[in-house]
Amino acid sequence: MTAQFCYGFFLVLGVIVSLEDWSQKKISNRWILLGLLAGAAVCSYLLWNSILGHHHLRWGRFGEYYYPWRYYPKILIHLFLSFTASLVLWRFSVWPAGDAKLYTLFAFLLVLIDPNLPGFPLLLFMLMLVNIFIPAALLFAAETAVVALRRLPAALKIEWRPWLRGRVDALGIRLREGWPYRYNYLMIAANTFTLFYAMQTVQINIRKLPLGPFGQIVVFLAMFVAWGRLSGLLMSKTIGLLALLCLSAVSMAGAFWAHWDIWARLILTLRMTANFGMFLSVARGIFYWFIEKESLRALVPENLEAGVVLSDETWQKLSAEKELAGRLGARYSDGLSREDAVILKEWLTRPAGGATPGWAVYQTIPFAVWIFLGSLFTLVERKNLVPILIPHFSRAYEVLRAGVSRWLS
């Protein structure tokens, strides 16, 4: 009965929130609060049944069917992990606050609907994230490929020699600008190697945690998302030295007592570090050269409102303005607060005696529908989406390779 109620409530709430986010680009807190109250009521009902049932008491239908005591600590563990994941995604500006709260709410409702979902309580939150992000990433990749194909005729008309010369000159400028920071980059590389060595050591010695190719891609994606802040930590000489000393001590102890193959682990770590460096270069190139440019839109002061996400360059320029110093709040993926929007609108429309500079904003994509669909897939199919997609990708790759071979021949 409670599972059916939660399932119906989850479906109705998911549709309402998805439509609201799609039309208004925001998720109202009233829906999150309503969901939490409904979930808390159901959880209280189940707990009351367990109390009566374990004491062999009946009060009407109360105490007739009940869950074991271990179910409730599992809910708390699952909620803690889900909340931590959503908080990290919010702090790293992947999700706005509304999406992070919606994910946590759906994670709560799913275990009330079906307490036997795979991965509950330790890995269910990760299974939900995979099923949420993978479909969205595939659709976005397909959209990017379509846009690139549409622009291919125009790209073929480019005079490639001047274009390549310009790219080489730009690369030379970048290298000259980055040369004074060469030791910082070296420290990042060393600390990244140390981090991957620690990961390799953990997964080799704990058989339940093998990364595999897909696991490495997930790790690379997570590090790419958090790279802006993670690189600041990896640049620290103190952290790098302490981590290197700890890993050296653990490796020597493992080689002496457990006969670890240190050289094999070093080679695996070098390979993983090189793969990540290649992945980071390609991903950042695609993101900054194509995706970011496609999502940028010009902004006039009249359209400045709460929730607008300013571009990085615009935010840096605004933060450097003396008149705005200390007046703007912290920058998150939620966009501007109502107060910040009013402050910026007044500043942009002030009589400056000259033309108002052009500001740029990101064209945001409503993500509540993906959170809802990914959670629904996890609930209905009870499995990871990736193994389902791999055979289809393999067949598509074979068809594509055969087509290219025929075209070249």
Does residue 377 sit in the same domain as residue 304? no
| Cβ partners under 8 Å of residue 356, min gap 6 | 301, 348, 349
Average pLDDT over residues 24-39: 90
Q: Mark whether 50 and 27 lie in a shared domain.
A: yes
Residue 242 pLDDT greater than 70, yes or no = yes
- The answer on 54 and 32 residing in a single domain is yes
Q: Is 227 helix (H, G, I), strand (E, B) or coil?
A: helix
Q: Is residue 110 part of a domain?
A: yes
pTM above 0.85, yes or no: no
Please name every residue paired with 361 in a beta bridge, in sequence order, or none if there are none. 297, 310
- Report pLDDT for 353: 41
> pLDDT, tens digit, for every residue of 278-314?
777 766 666 666 656 666 666 667 667 767 777 767 7
In a shared domain, residues 374 and 357: no
- Residue 409: pLDDT above 70? no
Res. 192: pLDDT tops 50: yes
Structure letter (DSSP) for residue 180: G
Are 331 and 385 in a shared domain? no
Over 50: is that where the pLDDT of 24 sits?
A: yes
Range of the domain at 121: 2-142+368-395
Taking the C-alpha atoms of residue 321 and residue 376, their distance in angstroms, rounded to an integer, is 46
Whether 177 is covered by a domain: the verdict is: no
What would the mean pLDDT of 105-114 be, rounded to a whole number?
A: 96
40: in domain: yes
Do residue 79 and residue 22 come from a single domain?
yes
Q: What integer is the mean pLDDT of 338-347?
A: 78
pLDDT mean over 162-172: 79
For the chain, give the mean pLDDT.
79
User: Which pLDDT band, with edges at 50, 70 and 90, does 101 fall under?
Assistant: very high
Which residue is associated with the tokens 């309580």? 121
Residues 114, 70 within the same domain = yes
pLDDT above 70: residue 217: no
Residue 303 lies in a domain: yes
| Higher-scoring residue by pLDDT: 208, 64 | 64
In a domain, 39, yes or no: yes
Specify the number of domains making up the chain: 2
In a shared domain, residues 314 and 374: no
- What pLDDT, on the 0 to 100 scale, is given for residue 44? 92
In a domain, 77, yes or no: yes
* 350 and 385 both lie in a single domain: no
Mean pLDDT on 25-39 = 91
For position 260, what pLDDT does the model report? 78
**Quick one: 376 and 315 in the same domain?**
no
pLDDT for 355 equals 38
Span 196-213, average pLDDT: 65
In a shared domain, residues 80 and 119: yes
Backbone φ, ψ for residue 382 (5° rounding):
60, 40
User: pLDDT tens for residues 36-50?
Assistant: 999 999 999 999 888
Residue 403 domain-assigned?
Answer: no
Q: Are 39 and 112 within one domain?
A: yes
Would residue 131 count as lying in a domain?
Answer: yes
Rounded Cα distance between 156 and 351, Å, is: 46
**Confidence band for 80, pLDDT divided at 50, 70 and 90:** very high
